[in-house]
Amino acid sequence: RLLGAACVIVGDLNPARLAHAKSQGFEVVDLSKDTPLHEQIVDILGEPEVDCAVDAVGFEARGHGHEGAKHEAPATVLNSLMQVTRVAGQIGIPGLYVTEDPGAVDAAAKIGALSIRFGLGWAKSHSFHTGQTPTMKYNRQLMQAIMWDRINIAEVVGVQVINLDQAPEGYGEFDAGVPKKFVIDPHKMWGAA
Mean pLDDT across the chain? 93
The domain made up of 9-152 is a member of CATH 3.40.50.720: yes
Among candidates 115, 43, 123, 117, which has minimal Cα distance to 86?
123
20-42 average pLDDT score: 97
Pairing of strands 127-130, 9-12: unpaired
Q: Which of 82, 69, 71, 75 is nearest to 30 (CA)?
A: 69
Residue 92 Rama label (left phi>0; alpha psi -120 to 50; beta) = beta
Q: Under a CB-based contact definition with an 8 Å cutoff, are residues 109 and 59 in contact?
A: yes
- pLDDT-derived band at 192 (thresholds 50, 70, 90) equals low
Is the CB of residue 114 less than 8 Å from the CB of residue 106?
no
Cβ–Cβ < 8 Å for 181, 156: no
- Rounded to whole angstroms, the Cα distance separating 125 from 185 reads 46
Percent of the chain with pLDDT strictly greater than 90 = 81
Q: How confident is the model at residue 43 (pLDDT cuts 50, 70, 90)?
A: very high
User: Where are the chain's structural domains?
Assistant: 9-152, 158-193
Average pLDDT over residues 64-70: 89
- Band (pLDDT 50/70/90 cuts) for residue 134 is confident
- Look at residue 162 and give its three-state secondary structure: strand
Phi, psi of 89 (to 5 degrees): -80, 170
Put simply, whether the predicted model's pTM sits higher than 0.85 gets the answer: yes
pLDDT score of 136: 87
Evaluate if residue 35 carries a pLDDT over 90.
Answer: yes
Mean pLDDT of 38-54: 98
Query: 112 or 2: whose pLDDT is higher?
Result: 112
pLDDT band at 191 (very low <50, low <70, confident <90, very high): low
Tell whether the model's pLDDT for residue 15 goes beyond 60.
yes
CB 121, CB 82: distance < 8 Å: yes
- Tens-digit pLDDT profile for residues 175-186: 999 999 999 999
The three-state secondary structure class of 15 is helix
Does residue 193 have a pLDDT over 80? no
Question: What mean pLDDT is predicted for residues 95-100?
Answer: 93
Whether 169 has a pLDDT exceeding 60, the answer reads yes
DSSP of 35-95 = S-HHHHHHHHHSSS-EEEEE--SGGG-B-SHHHHTTSB-TTHHHHHHHHHEEEEEEEEE-S
